[in-house]
Structure 1
Amino acid sequence: MGYAVVLGEALVDLLDGKYDGQPVYRQAIGGAPLNVAVGAARLGAEVEFAGSLGDDVLADRIADFLTGAGVGRRGTVVRPVPTALAVATFAGAEPDFRFYGEPLSYGLLGPDDLDVPLVEGASVLYAGSIVLLCPPVLAAARRAWTLATGLRVFDPNVRPRLLPDLAAVAGLREVVAEFVATADLVKLSLVDAEVLYGDNDPEAAAGRLHDLGASTVVVTLGSRGALVSTAADPAPVRLPAPVVRAVDATGAGDSVMAALIADLLADGLPADLAGWSDRVGYALRVAGLVCESPGGAVSMPTRAEVAARFPD
């Protein structure tokens, strides 16, 4: 089966809510790559997380959470800084994040911090998300990408709040193109496509990524499901999302990537687009279950829980 290395950020989400009629923030372990790592582990995959943590009590909670979820920490480093926070407010089930921390605890993994044998031995390497806006981690991700001998999977996970102007968007677009060029699988949301390319057409977004070099592309469409296409068979297939009682979409897209990584480790690359469609269909069921619980990483289900919720 092998293992996956997930490179990216770990932080603490503060989720806006109410208790006894008063506004409160509920604490949750977060960060899109951390969600991916935990989600894949809960689905039975062997996963190692690579990233930087602070040295405070919140960082200890992150480390304990990873260990409890069965995620290895051989690729993590600790820095003498407080843990970065992501404050999430909601319009319906969709979160809007603002990030706090100086320096950002998740942005301090450099290329010399990489566990080279760990990265080289991985069957799957994941990179992406907001750490690509941090120069040290971008350099580390670039090095890991060149060291990888297994499958490379990428998710830009764009956060518009971190892109203050058109120059910042253009810079991220160039970075995305660099990783997509040699990616075996790229997942992005339609919101990502709109920010990066000004395009809300998922078929066009998938075609653009194939033109850049991506082998397989999955575009998530929220409650409308997802689209999947391959370079060998670029006519996209749209898959519906299951009907669920959504209360919090935090981590839903990450759970799609988690499920795809877990299945890549278990069964390798699908033979054709039909095989990818089956995988994405399952990943959407995982995401649907995540949406029915508050929080991101804490909501990642096991395969047994997915089967119980969607017995068909």
Structure 2
Amino acid sequence: MGYAVVLGEALVDLLDAEYDGQPVYRQAIGGGPLNVAVAVARLGGDVQFVGSLGDDALAARIRAFLGAAGVGLAGAVTVPAPTALAVATFAGPEPDFRFYGEPRSYALLTADDLDVALVEGADVLYCGSIVLLDPPVRAAARRAWSIAGALRVFDPNVRPRLLGRPGALERLREVVAEFAASAHLVKLSTADAELLYPREPVEGVAAYLRELGAGTVVVTLGAAGALVAAGPDVVRIPAPKVRAVDATGAGDSVMGALIAELLVDGEPADPAGWQQRVAFALRVAGLVCESPGGAVAMPTRADLSRRFPS
């Protein structure tokens, strides 16, 4: 079994909470790609995180957390910046993130910083999320994407709060199209699909991304499960019934589970194989939703067997 490279952001989430009757923020290590890397490692996969980390105590905590989770840091660089913060408030089950910190610690990886040999040796390369909005990291991601001999997986993981500038959404659409066109797998959420392609049904979005060149497209539908477009038909896979308390990281866990399975068995030979993989990934996400927190909620295969013994 080879290894995966996950290129993207790591930061610290400040989550709305209450202590002794007063509003407080609970600190949690986060970032969609970081969550993905931890999910892969917890499921037994060999994974390297590639990105820029700050030079402060919070960054040291991120490094320690990733190391303890079994995520490699050979491709992570330290930059002279405080660790970026994502402040999350909850109006419903999905958190609303606002981002703080200049320069953004996660956005300072350049194409020259990229560990080319690490990327070339990977069996799976993940790119995506908010780093694609920043030109330096986007250039690094493009370089990684172009040299990878690996299976390429992509997740736009859109954050609407970062799209305030005029033309930002249109530029993001172009970047999504560029990466999706040569991806073996694209995973996106219903919220991503609705923001990127308003008024287009999710089945239409999946078909469009496949027309661009994506091999397989998975659209997560929250409690309703996921759509899989891997052949001529778009198939809905139901999610298991769970006692959800926190959806943070659930989508990232789907991506992590799919990467972990690609490391074990490579690409499925047919659409039915993809459907089985997605059903597995939805069990992982269901278990994540039953625990508070994102990265800390990622389960092991033993956890899955206990929760879903059949």
Aligned to 1:298: 296
Contact 1:193 1:199 in 2 (8 A): no
Structure 1 residue 116 corresponds to structure 2 residue 116: yes
Structure 1: how far apart are the matches of 2:14 and 2:289?
A: 17
- C-alpha root-mean-square deviation of aligned residues, in Å? 0.9
In the alignment, what sits opposite 2:250?
252
| SS at 1:52 equivalent | strand
% identity of equivalent residues: 73
> C-alpha offsets along residues 118-177 of structure 1, whole Å, 9 cap, x if unaligned?
000000000000000111000000000001001000000000111115611100000011
Q: Deviations over 1:70-114 (max 9, x none)?
A: 000001000111000001111232111010010000000000001
Corresponding residue SS for 1:290: helix
Alignment of 1:190-269 (within 5 A): 190-199=190-199, 201-230=201-230, 233-269=231-267
* Partner Cα distance (1:176, 1:132) in 2: 9
Give the equivalent residue in structure 1 for 2:176: 176
Contact 1:199–1:205 (Cα < 8 Å) also in 2: no
- Superposed, 1:143-162 pairs within 5 Å as 143-162=143-162
TM-score by length of 2: 0.99
Aligned residues: 310
Q: Distance in 1 between matches of 2:274 and 2:96?
A: 30
Given that residues 190 and 200 in structure 1 are in contact (C-alpha distance below 8 angstroms), is that contact kept between their aligned partners in structure 2? Answer: no
Report the AA paired with residue 104 of structure 2: L
Give the 5 Å matches for 1:32-71.
32-71=32-71
Tell me which amino acid in the other structure corresponds to 2:43: L
TM-score by length of 1: 0.98
- Equivalent residue, structure 2, for 1:289: 287
In the alignment, structure 1 residue 13 sits paired with structure 2 residue 13: yes
Structure 2: distance between partners of 1:51 and 1:141: 10
What residue identity is the alignment partner of 2:258? L
How far apart are residue 272 of structure 1 and its match? 0.7
Amino acid at match of 2:305: A
Q: Secondary structure at the match of 2:240?
A: coil
| Aligned-partner SS, 2:82 | coil
**Equivalents in 2 of 1:290, 1:91: separation in Å?**
20
What is the match of residue 187 of structure 1? 187
Residue 97 of structure 1 aligns to a residue in which SS? Answer: strand
CA contact (8 A) 1:180 1:212 kept: yes
Q: How many angstroms apart in 2 are the aligned matches of 1:90 and 1:306?
A: 27
Question: Shift in Å at residue 199 of structure 1?
Answer: 3.5
Q: Which runs of 4+ in 1 moved over 4 A?
A: none
- In structure 1, the residue matched to 2:100 is 100
Secondary structure of 1:263 counterpart: helix
Contact 1:207 1:234 in 2 (8 A): no
Following superposition, the deviation at residue 245 of structure 1 comes to: 1.2
What is the CA distance between 1:234 and its match in structure 2?
Answer: 2.7
CA deviations 1:275-311 (Å, max 9, x no partner) are 1000000100100111111111011000000111111
The alignment partner of 2:277 has SS state of helix
Give distance in 1, aligned partners of 2:194 and 2:186: 16
Aligned-partner residue type, residue 236 of structure 1: V
Where do 5+ consecutive residues of structure 1 fail to align?
Answer: none
Q: State the shift of 1:243 in Å.
A: 1.2
- Secondary structure of the 1:80 match is coil
Give a deviation string over 1:216-266, Cα, whole Å, max 9, x none: 000000111100011xx1301101111111111110000000000000000
What amino acid sits opposite 2:279 in the alignment?
A: G
